[in-house]
Each structure stands twice: as C-alpha cells, then as structure tokens.
Amino acid sequence: MGNIYDGAFRTILNDCRQMIIPVINEIFKEDYTGNEIIEFHPNEHFIDQQDVAGKERITDTNFIIYGKKKKKYHLECESSLPDGRMTIRLFEYDSQIALDEGEVINETLTVTFPNTAVLYLRNYKKTPDKMRYVIKTPGGIVEYDVPIMKVQEYTLEDIFSKGLLLLIPFYIFSHEKNFKVYNSNEQRLAEVKAEYRSILERLDKLEQEGIIGAFDKRTIIELSGDVIREIAQKYENVQKGIGGMMSGALLETEARTILNRGKDEAKKETALRMLQDGELPIDKVAKYSGLDITEVELLAGVQTV
C-alpha cells in the first residue's frame, strides 16, 4: 500500500483515537459508547523466519480497548489486489502480537490473539467479504474469521449517520474510476466538488455541536487533501478542483483558529485589567469579559501569586 495511505490511516487512528470506536462497533458488532480507554501498543514487530533473522514488520495499528472487558484489536488498511499474501502477513502480525504479550506460568505459555480486521480501500471482484484462519494443532483445530470492511461500500450518509469519520480521508476512492471523466468534464467535476463541500459543512456542524474538536476536523481535512493529491496525481483538474478545495478549507480552519486564539487573549487581557482595578467581583468580571468563571478564578490566582 502507498506510504501516503498507510500514513494517513495511522495518523488519524493515533491522533484522533476516539474515531476508532464507531469503526470497531461497525466491524465487530460491539456496543462501545466512546468513553472507553484506548491503549496503543508498539507497531514494530520482529518476525523470525528461517531465511531472515529478526525481520522487522510494521503493523498499521494494534491497541486495547478497556470496555466491559479488556479486548485487543489489530487493524490493517490495504489498497492492493487480494492475492493471499495479505492473509499470511496478517497472521504473522497476529502471532507476533500474541507472542509479544504472552505469559509463561509453570511452563504453560498463554497467548491471546487480537480481534483482527482489514479495511480495503479499493474493491475488486476478488476482494472477499472475510478472511479465515484455520490452525491445525496437535490439540485440535482452531478456526475463525477475520472480517473485512470495504470502504467503497459506505456512502456519505452511512459515514455520517454511523459516525465513521475515520473513513472520510479515503472516501475519494469511491470516485477513482471516474477521474478521467471528471478531469475533462467540468459539470461532473462540479458534482464531486459539491459532495466535498457538503462534507466540509457537515464537519463544521459536528464541530459546532461539540461532537468533534477543531483538531479532529483539521486532521480529517488535512489527510483528505493528502490522499486526494496522491491518488489523483495524473489528473490535474481533479487535483486542483477537489484537492484545492480541501487545501482552502485547511487554510480557513487555521485562520479561524488563530483568530479565536486572538479573541481569547483579548478576553484574558480585559479580565486582568478588571481584576487589577479590584472594583468588580469575579462573577461580574467573567460576565463582562466573556470568560468562564473558572478561567477568571485562575487568572485571579495567578495575579495574587
């Protein structure tokens, strides 16, 4: 998979980790609320093979969610054609994750395999609905499925209604087969731009409602732009049209952040002047400066130190 897609996937998982929860609920039919603690583990593992000693393999992400029960998860993101090698690689990762965190008590080794899934960014006729492990041991056969999430099967309505915001940077894959048309047809390109405009508007609304933070929104927009620039390298109009829109939205978001920061500083300066005068109680200072009482109390505490 291209480094850009791989990097975008890891970044949004690590920097906006609560966005993992709706995806895990969707894939594994869990009922996490979003208030659970998520603990990430190292992605680098060394795979011992006969021909290569200590070969390093890097998983996309491997973490534990502390809900009603502690559960380990391993997610991989893939854009290439399924050819069987992914399944082998996945099992290598899972085995190493299990072994890295295994424990030996009274010469009994206990290993716990993670709940594993793959997000496929592209759909091919050969893309299966699931992978399957069949492990034949002297003590019996162990077999289970590894679910696959096909990103292109999710519409924008699905993504927003189910809270699958983690998929937004990769939504452009659903348009990939039509890039040639968009590049030469302004009307068709305008339709896709309108779709992305609606994405930006809906992200704004989620931020205003407090469902996502400014950092989350910025990360989604930035990574969407990165993926668009990578996937549409050969299509200049698509790059400028959709990619340019995301770059513009990113600049606007940064400008708004700077402006808000400036407003906050102005409010604090006003509150400090009122506190220095000493004529108004804290609740009145808060009211007139536009700050929360807690913030004014902190400023008053700093002033008296």
The residue with tokens 């992400």 is: 61
d(CA 110, CA 88): 22
What single letter denotes the amino acid at residue 96? Q
The pLDDT value given to residue 249? 73
pLDDT at 72 over 80: yes
pTM of the entire predicted model: 0.76
Do 88 and 10 touch, CB atoms closer than 8 A? no
pLDDT at 57 over 60: no
Least reliable range by pLDDT among 23-37, 139-153, 210-224 = 210-224
Q: Give the β-pairing of 44-47 and 55-58.
A: antiparallel
The pLDDT value given to residue 45? 47
pLDDT at 156 over 60: yes
pLDDT (tens digit per residue) in 184-200: 999 999 999 999 999 99
pLDDT (tens digit per residue) in 96-143: 889 888 899 999 999 999 999 999 999 888 888 999 999 999 999 999
pLDDT at 162 over 90: yes
Q: Nearest to residue 44, comparing CAs of 28, 60, 64?
A: 60
What single letter denotes the amino acid at residue 187? Q
At residue 251 the predicted structure's pLDDT band, cuts being 50, 70 and 90, is low
Chain length of the chain:
305
What is the 3-class SS of the chain, one letter each residue? Answer: CCHHHHHHHHHHHHHCHHHHHHHHHHHHCCCCCCCCEEEECCCEEEECCCCCCCEEEECCEEEEEECCCEEEEEEEEECCCCCCHHHHHHHHHHHHHHHHCCEEECCEEECCCCEEEEEECCCCCCCCCEEEEEEEECCEEEEEEEEEEEHHHCCHHHHHHCCCHHHHHHHHHHHHHHHHHHHHCHHHHHHHHHHHHHHHHHHHHHHHCCCCCHHHHHHHHHHHHHHHHHHCCCCHHHHHHHHHHHHHHHHHHHHHHHHHHHHHHHHHHHHHHHHHHCCCCHHHHHHHHCCCHHHHHHHHHHHHC
Long-range contacts, stretch 76-79, CB < 8 angstroms, 24+ apart: 76/116, 76/117, 76/118, 76/119, 77/1, 77/5, 77/6, 77/9, 77/118, 77/119, 77/121, 78/1, 78/118, 78/119, 78/120, 78/121, 79/1, 79/2, 79/5, 79/120, 79/121, 79/122, 79/173
What percent of the chain has a predicted confidence (pLDDT) above 70?
86
How many Cβ atoms sit within 10 Å of the Cβ of residue 209? Answer: 8
Most confident of 69-83, 175-189, 238-252: 175-189
pLDDT at 144 over 80: yes
